[in-house]
Amino acid sequence: MRALKYILQKEFRQLFRDKGFVGRLFIAPAIQLMLLPLAANYTIKNINIAIVDHDHSVESKKLSDKIVSSGYFKLAGYTDFISKANAMIENDKADIVLEIPAKFEKDLIREGNQKIAIEVNAINGVKASVGFAYLNGIISDYNNAVRMEWVEPYRTNPLPTIDVISSFWYNPALTYYIFMVPGILVMLVTTIAGLSAAFNIVKEKEIGTIEQINVTPIKKHHFILGKLIPFLFIGLAVFSIGLLIAWVVYGIVPLGHLVLLFLFLEVFLFAILGFGLLVSTYSETQQQANSIMFLFMMVFNLMSGLYTPIDSMPGWAQFIAGLFPIKYFIEVMRMIVIKGSGFHDILPHIYSVLLIGVVLNTWAVLNYRKTT
């Protein structure tokens, strides 16, 4: 234990000698946590729509006003010619074209039905599908209003209808940042802890101090623990600052116990720091370590469930995602913060991450070659 104590003293002194330590590990993540949720916004608004009105009737004007006043669409053009609207799509000035045919109002009153055309710029598939869904919903509401106004008064028997009463649990207002902030905080902790651990042993190699350590009677597991524990405290500090920012800036207060969050955080840091140290044992320079970690961080970012549900991925991708500890931490963060889950709910995730951590740290200890 004395050997471990001396290693820890050395590591903490080395950390605090770094002049950019505070800014790199605390100030930068705080700024990122305040800015990234504003950019990672699932709410799609200001969709540019061009309306081609061949009818110019009262009803076509009511439909156009209803679309524009919804708050989701911005009128890019109102014209009589479909060629002009198509040109607006080709020049990226419009995302959707709505074409209202001639005699729209007369045919709607006389025949009880009418067709309108919708053209969508589908280069951005998400924006296209969401915009079409918004527009389809608005037209459906308009259609129901027309039926109530013109059709129902003349019927002796009312048409059967289904009234839907919706209830959104845990996030009633469907506020996007309540869902995104916990996941982004996990990603920041992963990046800081993983990169810091990955650079640690490599830095010893580059400055030559690794040779001095290798000739000392320090056991390999003491050396790895001495490299892991300081960054465990750093991860705890960064996470605490992130929770404070989430509360002050976004008003997010965990519904579950903070003790559970920090318990799982320690298990997670044990795993992700082990991964960083493993990368460090394989790397000879900080540039190599940075390249390897950048590759894995990109994969973690895309396959962690932060932006897209893991259940929507192919089976092979779900299996690979299950090998990453960040996937479990994002799930646990959202379970505890948003849902208020308890210990028994997250226990399977603890077992999974703990197993991954044991494998990674054991691998790092075995791979570190201590020469005498």
Domain stop point among 124, 154, 184 = 154
Let me know whether 190 and 291 are in one domain: yes
**pLDDT category, 371, cuts 50, 70, 90?**
very low
Let me know whether 243 and 344 are in one domain: yes
Phi, psi (rounded to 5 degrees) for 163: -95, 125
- Enclosing domain of residue 201: 2-40+176-367
Which CATH number do you get for residue 74?
3.40.1710.10
Let me know whether 247 and 111 are in one domain: no
Let me know whether 356 and 264 are in one domain: yes
Tally of domains within the chain: 2
Enumerate the β-bridge partners of residue 51.
78, 98
Let me know whether 188 and 147 are in one domain: no
Q: By the 8 A CB rule, do 84 and 67 touch?
A: no
pLDDT at 216: 64
Let me know whether 141 and 237 are in one domain: no
pLDDT at 372: 37
Give domain status of residue 167, yes or no. no
Identify the CA nearest to 199 among candidates 230, 239, 241, 240: 230
69-78, 163-172, 262-271, 352-361: range with lowest mean pLDDT:
163-172
Give domain status of residue 308, yes or no. yes
Let me know whether 135 and 253 are in one domain: no
Q: Kindly report the pTM of this predicted structure.
A: 0.77
Give domain status of residue 164, yes or no. no
Distance of alpha carbon 187 from alpha carbon 253, whole angstroms: 19
Give domain status of residue 277, yes or no. yes
Give domain status of residue 238, yes or no. yes
pLDDT per position as a tens digit, 138-181 = 888 888 777 776 655 555 555 555 556 767 788 877 778 888 89
Domain stop point among 123, 154, 185 = 154
Let me know whether 188 and 120 are in one domain: no
Mean pLDDT, the chain, as a whole number?
Answer: 82
Give domain status of residue 126, yes or no. yes
| 195 contact partners, CB below 8 Å, separation of at least 6 | 276, 290, 293, 297
Let me know whether 35 and 51 are in one domain: no
pLDDT at 225: 76
Burial zone of 310 (CB within 10 Å; 0-12 exposed, 13-18 middle, 19+ buried): middle
Give domain status of residue 336, yes or no. yes
Let me know whether 55 and 92 are in one domain: yes
Let me know whether 31 and 57 are in one domain: no
Let me know whether 56 and 91 are in one domain: yes
